[in-house]
Amino acid sequence: MVDRADRTRRNVLRTTAGAAGFGVFAGCTTLDEPNGDDGSGNGDENGTENGDENGTENGDEDGTENSDENGTEESGSYSVSMEPVGTVEFDSVPETWFSYTADYADMGVALGHGDGLSAIGIRNRYATHFYDELPDVSVEKEDLTELWQGSTDREVFYSLNADLHLIDPNFMINRLDWNEEYIDDIETDIAPFMGNTIFSGGYDWHDYTRYSLYEAFEKVADVFQERDRYEAFTDLHDEVLSDVQSRRPEQSPDVAVLFPESLPPEAFYPYTIGSGTQSKQWNDLNVGRALAESDVDDFAASRGTIDYETLLEVDPDIIAIRQDDGVHDADFQSDIVEHMEDHPVASKLSAVQNGRVIDGGRIYQGPIINLFQLEQAAQDVYPDEFGDEQLFDRQRVSDIVNGNI
């Protein structure tokens, strides 16, 4: 453990003010996993989507701070404000950092700071395979320390000794049975927390500002002093989204997003489409919310599953299946699609009969992963319009990450 007196450059990072909501809620006892506590499941990182992700993410809405409030001072120091932690002052850009959820990891990589990433909550939930399509962009996921080992011990934070914890402290308190004292000790001994739980809209303890993807991304860009990269990604995102939304058909199918309880699946964890960045692509595509408009409760609220009989009552046009370790075409076809086609009840579903069981993507998406997931969803939901078309330039993404703007 790092001694309180043995702090060198840790002194350049400090929290100067708190914001509403931090550290006041009782938490769950573990990070729940739909498939058990071995880290292989999908957790309860779910929620509802409210459609505020529909291409309006310019970082200056909903009362959030603009970049001119987070500027560099004459002394070389600067500050960044983000709920729920408040304002954090920096004397230099963090060199080493880690996040718990992969949305913030993806943001750091997008801003050209992937080399400083040292850990992640659960490796399987970080969709680094998308980076394989980008020239000169990579993250060796197996080299990242996995924070979740049936629980998350504070000692791992001390052993990593990072310059910044890109994590919402309320996530640690409410999802991992930490307390405010744990947070305070780590901020005093090591480095501050900064982050906001944006992926889900289903947590009742999240009663402070919930940022859109690009609002949160702007905050992270201010932390790393990477305004040019942020603006380049914003321009690219807006161009791609404008193209997709101008071409999508007026008639939108109803989509049900599900996570299999087991393989082959006999029951599913339901994910309704509403607020939170986890289903940004579905909102951007203006799909119907099959589960939200039925009597099925979201997994965040119910902690339960639905079977094929219940799903048949909803009978969505499209069934989007999520899997944490990625969806491989051959396994997806044999373990899920063919099983459903042969199932006495599942075979009656319209989506099964019409060949509309598709990949549901990942929960955690920053700016890079979102581009891939928007493209994939557009191709799958509207195949007649988008087919196998690449909707964004991979080299352009690589150039932004590598600073060739």
At 120-178, the pLDDT tens digits run 999 999 999 999 999 999 999 999 999 999 999 999 999 999 999 999 999 999 999 89
Give the angle 43-277-32 at the CA atoms, nearest 5°.
Answer: 10
Instruction: Show which of 194, 222, 242 is a domain's final residue.
Output: 242
**Pair 186, 298 in one domain:** no
Kind plus residue range of the DSSP H or E element containing 145: strand 145-146
Q: What is the rounded average pLDDT of the residues 70-86?
A: 79
Please give the tally of structural domains in the chain: 2
**Pair 146, 226 in one domain:** yes
Q: What is the rounded average pLDDT of the residues 6-31?
A: 38
Kind plus residue range of the DSSP H or E element containing 120: strand 119-120
**Pair 224, 298 in one domain:** no
For the beta carbon of residue 1, count every other beta carbon within 10 angstroms: 12
Q: What is the rounded average pLDDT of the residues 106-132?
A: 97
The answer to whether 295 touches 304, Cβ cutoff 8 Å, is: no
**Pair 183, 69 in one domain:** yes
Spell 200-223 as b/e; 16+ CB within 10 A means b: bbbbebbeebbbbbbbbbbbbbbb
Read off the pTM.
0.85
Domain range spanning residue 375? 250-401
Look at residue 37 and give its three-state secondary structure. Answer: coil
- Amino acid present at 199: F
Q: What distance in Å separates the CA atoms of residue 200 and residue 47, rounded to the nearest whole number?
A: 5
Q: What is the rounded average pLDDT of the residues 3-29?
A: 37
The answer to whether 199 touches 364, Cβ cutoff 8 Å, is: yes
% of residues, the chain, pLDDT over 90: 72
Q: In the numeric block, which tokens belong to residue 183?
A: 């947070």
- Amino acid present at 388: D
List, in order, residues 6 or more apart from 346 with CB less than 8 Å away: 308, 311, 339, 340, 352
**Pair 169, 266 in one domain:** no
**Pair 169, 111 in one domain:** yes
Q: In the numeric block, which tokens belong to residue 249?
A: 């058909």
**Pair 221, 330 in one domain:** no
Q: What is the pLDDT of residues 284-336, one digit of tens each?
A: 999 999 998 887 876 665 678 999 999 999 999 999 999 877 556 778 999 99
* pLDDT at site 149: 92
Q: What is the pLDDT of residues 23-77, one digit of tens each?
A: 332 233 334 335 433 333 333 443 333 334 444 444 444 444 444 445 444 458 9
Torsion sign over Cα 304, 50, 22, 197? positive
In order, the DSSP letters of 42-73 are -TT------STTSS---S--TTPPPGGGS-B-
Is residue 65 one of the residues assigned to a domain? Answer: yes
**Mean of per-residue pLDDT scores for the chain:** 84
Instruction: Show which of 214, 242, 270 is a domain's final residue.
Output: 242
Is residue 3 one of the residues assigned to a domain? Answer: no
